[in-house]
Chain A
Amino acid sequence: MDRTPAARLASKDLGNFAPPAEPYAPWLFKIVAGWAAFLLALVVVAGVLLLLVRGLAGLFGDAPGQLGGLGESIGNIVALVLIFVMVTATLLTMAERKWSALMQDRVGPNRARLPLPGLSDRPLKGIPHIAADVLKMLFKEDFIPAGALHERLLFTLAPLIAFAPALCLFAVVPVGPELVLFGKRMQLMVARVDWGILYVFALASVAPFGTALAGWSSKNKLALLGGLRASAQLVSYEVTLGLTLAGAMITFGTVRLDAMAVEQAGEVFSILPAWGALYQPLGLLLFLVAAMAEIKRAPFDAPEGESEIIGYFLEYSGLKSGLFLIAEFAEVVVVSGIVTAIFLGGYHIPWIEPWLLRHIGTEWTAVLQVTAFMLKTLLVIWVQFLIRWSFPRFRYDQIMRLGWKMMLPLSLANVVVSAGVFLWAGKQGLAAVGVVEWIAILAFVALTARKPEEPAPAAAHH
């Protein structure tokens, strides 16, 4: 690096300017230490969230034995919706770009730097890009096209309607167990309502209004196309979305997500964790696909389709456009939280939970359980991103065919089979069927694939 091009030229040195690769051992240490620090940070965050809710409950003087007081609710809204969902969604804007880079053998965004001493030459994993993006959106002109001036109210309302359900959906997701912390009963969950999942379905069907309004009030043909596509797609997949979870409702006998999470403690057949994924393998797969279609993530991003029509938010700029974008990531977090709560055992830690409860107490176990929930959510988010970067966008007719002709019958069959097995053999029977289904799926994927074609052997002898 210290030699100028002319100096290299003079010595006929046309070699490269690359610095040497980092030595292996210190780098390995750095990686391991970094991941340990990340896990520790998650544990700390879990503890802080619990303490925040407990603190606000104390501040408002909630009754010690009563769940869901004013202070606890406000604390939960702040801790879960404003901190957990929003911070994760904000970080996901960068994770989307960084993770996609990793999946495609790239480095990803690393040019934004913090102008601070010692940091000005470090990319910091692209985190400064988030600040740069936010600043850019804040200072952009809030432009309203001439055609939309007549519909100014709807034009402004659309991003809010698209964004609000994403935040509200997380209200029924149980992040932590019910526990007594410093003499106060509490739980990391905003709303303890009897209609848990139904609330999710109800609010999820509000989101199409935002996209449809955005497409219509923009007075732009392409935006209108996007809005129409979004409406048709979301309405179609709502049916499947509801039916895929019917199996889980049958299994756990409840529509409350917190009750479902409680049901998933312990093990089935004394070895497998009693997660919803075990009882409902098909339900998990179908729900994940339907949910990705419902939140318009690629490969179901035909409403956005940035390479054909720009999408329903074509005419939006500045923070309104940012609301649409951040709503998508908030929805990713929410979907992951719901999948975790219903199918991945919620906040339960498999196998070692009784030991933890006996040895480190309810409170510390709760901290670890909240950490486990966050880790599982992160895993599901990662799977969604993996799907998003693996597949090309489905055509509109493919989306409709998949939704109506494949997923709807499959989820109906899942409901019928689940109900039958449940009536015949109860939860144990469902678990047995689930194990068989998992083995069948894994064997099908792993064993039946066509071998890669081997180079033709020399045909000289024949």
Chain B
Amino acid sequence: MEHAPPAKADLTPGERLYLREAIRGMAVIARHFWINLFGRRDPNPEVMDRKGPGVNLVTTINYPEERKAYPPGYRGMHRLVPRVDGKPRCVACYMCATACPAQCIYIEASEYDAEAIEKYPIRFEIDELRCIVCGFCVEACPKDAIRMDTGTHAPAVLSRPLAVFDKEALLRGPAVEHPSDVMTYRVPLKTVPPPPEGHGGGGKGH
């Protein structure tokens, strides 16, 4: 009996009359109406307690003019992680393409002439329409060369070919260097400045 919903008998006669509770409910709605009518919206999405002079209770974010950042662990658009010299860390081992359940990764390997690392991709394409955002490619990569930490989702496109992102579009974001890298690179890599921002295919949205 403890879990039974409150029976009708639990209501006082005044509550069963409905009129008073109805008017009190309307008072709540009216209070929200006037606060929101005469208050201005605080666009900061992090505010938990919307109080103060002239601040209304609206929590809407006017996407896409305003955006709330995705949480840090958000599994977003892929990127090919660059080395400090600006080339992709990818060694074209095909492990991500093999792991991909949607088969959305296409790689063509080529060879460096003079480097200790022999292979690199001359084509690395991801069809973001086929991608199911499972993250298996990131798990499979032995060289930490593909990540989904861009904090953006795949952008809307107007035709299917535009959703296929090539190596140049995917190669972006901060360069990554691991201590173990020195064992594979015989000579220290020459650090180059990162490419100018915003030329990547993704993340623009509008």
A37 adjacent to chain B (CB < 8 Å)? no
| A103 in contact with B32 (CB, 8 Å) | yes
A66 adjacent to chain B (CB < 8 Å)? no
B59 adjacent to chain A (CB < 8 Å)? yes
| A449 in contact with B14 (CB, 8 Å) | yes
Q: A4-B197, A445-B20 are in contact. Are A14 and B66 (CB under 8 A)?
A: no
A residues touching B (Cβ–Cβ < 8 Å)?
1, 4-10, 14-22, 24, 27-28, 31, 99, 102-107, 110, 386-387, 389-391, 444-445, 448-450
Binds A, one of B21-29, B94-102, B110-118: B21-29
Q: A103-B29, A103-B33 are in contact. Are A24 and B53 (CB under 8 A)?
A: yes
| B14 in contact with A4 (CB, 8 Å) | no
Q: Which residues in chain B, 57-80, are within 8 Å of chain A measured between CB atoms?
A: 57-62, 65-72
Kindly list chain B residues whose C-beta atoms are within 8 Å of the C-beta of A18: 43-45, 61, 66, 68
| A10 in contact with B53 (CB, 8 Å) | no
Kindly list chain B residues whose C-beta atoms are within 8 Å of the C-beta of A448: 14, 20
Binds A, one of B84-92, B119-127, B144-152: B144-152
Q: Which residues in chain B, 169-195, are within 8 Å of chain A measured between CB atoms?
A: 172-174, 194
Interface string of B1-39 (1 = CB under 8 A from A): 000000000001011000111111110011011001110
| A10 in contact with B33 (CB, 8 Å) | no
Q: A8 CA to B203 CA in the complex, in Å?
A: 11
Min C-beta distance of B172 to chain A, whole Å: 6
| B55 in contact with A21 (CB, 8 Å) | yes
B residues touching A (Cβ–Cβ < 8 Å)?
12, 14-15, 19-26, 29-30, 32-33, 36-38, 40-46, 53-62, 65-72, 149-152, 172-174, 194, 197-198, 200, 203-204
Kindly list chain B residues whose C-beta atoms are within 8 Å of the C-beta of A105: 32, 36, 56-59
| B41 in contact with A107 (CB, 8 Å) | yes
Q: A391 CA to B25 CA in the complex, in Å?
A: 9
For A402, the closest partner residue in chain B by CB is B18
| A9 in contact with B173 (CB, 8 Å) | yes
| A386 in contact with B26 (CB, 8 Å) | yes
Best-buried of A15, A21, A99 by chain B (most CB within 10 Å): A21
Best-buried of A4, A9, A389 by chain B (most CB within 10 Å): A9
Which one of B15, B36, B54, B204 contacts A450 once the chains associate, using CB atoms below 8 Å?
Answer: B15
Kindly list chain B residues whose C-beta atoms are within 8 Å of the C-beta of A15: 69
Interface of B is mostly: loop
Min C-beta distance of A102 to chain B, whole Å: 4
Min C-beta distance of B111 to chain A, whole Å: 30
Q: A391 CA to B28 CA in the complex, in Å?
A: 12
Min C-beta distance of A288 to chain B, whole Å: 12
| A102 in contact with B37 (CB, 8 Å) | yes
Q: A442 CA to B68 CA in the complex, in Å?
A: 45
| A107 in contact with B58 (CB, 8 Å) | yes
Q: A6-B200, A386-B26, A390-B26 are in contact. Are A107 and B69 (CB under 8 A)?
A: no
| A390 in contact with B173 (CB, 8 Å) | no
Q: A102 CA to B172 CA in the complex, in Å?
A: 43
Q: A28 CA to B38 CA in the complex, in Å?
A: 9
Q: A105 CA to B59 CA in the complex, in Å?
A: 7
Min C-beta distance of A29 to chain B, whole Å: 11
Kindly list chain A residues whose C-beta atoms are within 8 Å of the C-beta of B41: 21, 107
Kindly list chain A residues whose C-beta atoms are within 8 Å of the C-beta of B55: 21
Min C-beta distance of B56 to chain A, whole Å: 8
Q: A333 CA to B13 CA in the complex, in Å?
A: 35
Q: A5-B150, A16-B69 are in contact. Are A21 and B43 (CB under 8 A)?
A: yes
| B20 in contact with A17 (CB, 8 Å) | no
Best-buried of A1, A6, A102, A386 by chain B (most CB within 10 Å): A6
Kindly list chain A residues whose C-beta atoms are within 8 Å of the C-beta of B70: 14
Q: A4-B198, A390-B22 are in contact. Are A450 and B152 (CB under 8 A)?
A: no
Apart from A5-B150, A103-B30, A445-B19, what are 13 other A-B pairs with CB-CB below 8 Å?
A6-B172, A9-B149, A9-B174, A14-B70, A16-B45, A18-B66, A99-B33, A102-B32, A102-B33, A107-B41, A107-B58, A390-B26, A390-B29
Q: A6-B203, A102-B32, A450-B12 are in contact. Are A28 and B24 (CB under 8 A)?
A: no
For B64, the closest partner residue in chain A by CB is A17
Q: A4 CA to B201 CA in the complex, in Å?
A: 12
Give 9 nearest A-B pairs by CB, closest first. Answer: A17-B67, A18-B43, A5-B203, A102-B36, A107-B60, A4-B198, A105-B57, A5-B152, A21-B42
Kindly list chain B residues whose C-beta atoms are within 8 Å of the C-beta of A9: 149-151, 173-174
